[in-house]
Amino acid sequence: MSPPQLKGGVLGWRNFLRKDKQKTKVHPEWHLPGMIVYGATKRAVTYLNKSLQKEIKGTQVQVNTLSLGIVVTDLLIGDYDTSSPEWHKVKKIFNILGDKVETVTPWLVNGILATKKTATTVAWLTGGKAFWRFMSAAFNKRDLFAE
Long-range contacts, stretch 8-12, CB < 8 angstroms, 24+ apart: 10/36, 10/37, 10/40
Q: What is the DSSP letter of 60?
A: S
pLDDT digits (tens, 9 = 90+) for 22-68: 555 544 445 556 667 777 888 888 999 999 999 999 999 999 999 99
pLDDT digits (tens, 9 = 90+) for 77-119: 887 889 999 899 999 999 999 999 999 999 999 999 999 999 9
Which of these, 97, 39, 46, 100, lies nearest to 73 by C-alpha position? 100
Q: What is the DSSP letter of 90?
A: H
> 72 near 143, Cβ under 8 Å?
no
CA distance 74 to 24: 33
Average pLDDT over residues 9-20: 62
Q: In the prediction, which pLDDT does 80 show?
A: 86
How far from 25 is each of 30, 32, 87, 104, CA to CA, in Å? 11, 12, 25, 38
Q: In the prediction, which pLDDT does 17 show?
A: 62
Instruction: Report residue 66: phi and psi, to 5°.
Output: -100, 130
Q: Is the pLDDT of residue 19 over 90?
A: no
In angstroms, how far is CA 61 from the centroid of its own chain? 25
Read off the pLDDT band of 1 (50, 70, 90). Answer: very low
In angstroms, how far is CA 141 from the centroid of its own chain? 23
Taking the whole predicted model, whether its pTM rises above 0.75 is answered as no
CA distance 137 to 131: 10
